[in-house]
Amino acid sequence: MEKNGKDSGVLAMAACYQGFDPAAYLQYNYTPPRADFGRTDSIVPWKLACLHRAFTEGDVSGELLVDIGSGPTLYQVLSGCEVFKKVLLTDFLEVNRQELRRWLQDEGGCNMDWTPYLQHVCKLEGRRASEWTEKAAKLRQVITDVLPVDVHRPLPMASGALPSAGADCLVSCFCLESVSPDLATFTKALGHIGRLLRPGGHLLLIGALGESYYFGGPGVKIPVVPLNEEQVCASLKESGFTLIRLEVYTLPQDMRVGVDDVTGVFFVKAKKD
Ligand code: SAM
């Protein structure tokens, strides 16, 4: 243990993130081929389909949805914004929080055009793609804040940021494994975010399988704890969650574009005990 009770591995991860470049990260992961809406085997449409299904099965409901480690992205709440009255986005880095605020305030200067994402999710919802403007308005209405988070703290958000009962649902995508130096820290972080959720509330967790690094910008190589499905299931159990469903996507060869060494993606729907 070192400064502020954090171990050296966690401090080293925080140092890596100082070079994170939202524009580059969006370019690497959220443009074709990884976000090719004409292909059913593209990674982003797969993630959006998992989230759409999870949010429309009828068991996920309540007032407040919180996304943990949003980064500079919005795709992960495009389905949830239709179910929850209030959505909070969170990230560790101010550059990412700023990127999200620029989109929310609709004043231009964004590094990403989310229009094809909004159109795609409209279609998943049985609406016309042209209704994307209404979905964008809905998103801007229900996302009420973009707040700091640190999953390595026993209480990752500032006290008073959430109602005392906790959120009704958490989403978190590619965060815990890419900020943890090892499996034990990943499991601990999962326990920490679980404390933000009310008992019986749902966790929708998306993450990388078999990944040991990714680039957060040119030359910004960030280590990742390589996970397999069994480890994800064991960590969920240890952290007080009951697994409802685990789905796995295997990256086709042409999605391996040199910005990481990820081999697959998991999607988990779980419930807090
Ligand atoms: N959720 C986004 C997505 O699906 O693409 C971003 C994932 S990105 C791989 C990891 C995110 O974790 C970054 O936005 C980074 O700023 C954030 N992060 C870094 N350290 C963190 C910490 N200690 N607690 C919470 N989030 C952290």
CB 193 less than 6 A from any atom of ligand 1:
no
Helix 115-124 with 43-56: angle, nearest 10 deg? 50
CA-to-CA dists, residue 130 to 120, 124, 127, 136, 255, angstroms: 10, 13, 8, 11, 29
Q: What is the reported pLDDT for 79?
A: 98
* Chain CA centroid to CA 129, Å: 24
CB 249 less than 6 A from any atom of ligand 1:
no
Number of domains in the chain: 1
Complex prediction ipTM: 0.99
Ligand 1 atom nearest residue 71's Cα: 14
CB 91 less than 6 A from any atom of ligand 1:
yes
DSSP assignment, residue 153? S
Q: What is the reported pLDDT for 133?
A: 98
Helix 94-105 with 22-29: angle, nearest 10 deg? 70
Say if residue 71 carries a ligand binding annotation: no
Report whether the peptide linkage leading into residue 33 is cis, meaning its omega lies within 30 degrees of zero: yes
- DSSP H stretches of helix in the chain: 8-16, 22-29, 43-56, 94-105, 115-124, 132-142, 183-194, 229-238
Residue ranges making up the domain that contains 85: 3-272
Q: What is the reported pLDDT for 40?
A: 85
DSSP symbols for 180-248: -SSHHHHHHHHHHHHTTEEEEEEEEEEEEES--EEESSTT-EEE-----HHHHHHHHHHTTEEEEEEEE
What are the residue ranges in the chain where pLDDT is below 70?
1-5
> Could you report the per-residue pLDDT of 78-90, keeping only the tens digit for each?
999 999 999 999 9
Q: What is the reported pLDDT for 233?
A: 98
CATH number at residue 152: 3.40.50.150
Q: How far apart are CA 77 and CA 74, in angstroms?
A: 6
Q: What is the reported pLDDT for 257?
A: 92
| Backbone angle region of 109, left / alpha / beta, with phi > 0 → left and psi within -120 to 50 → alpha | left
Q: What is the reported pLDDT for 2?
A: 52
Q: Maximum CA pair distance of the chain?
A: 54
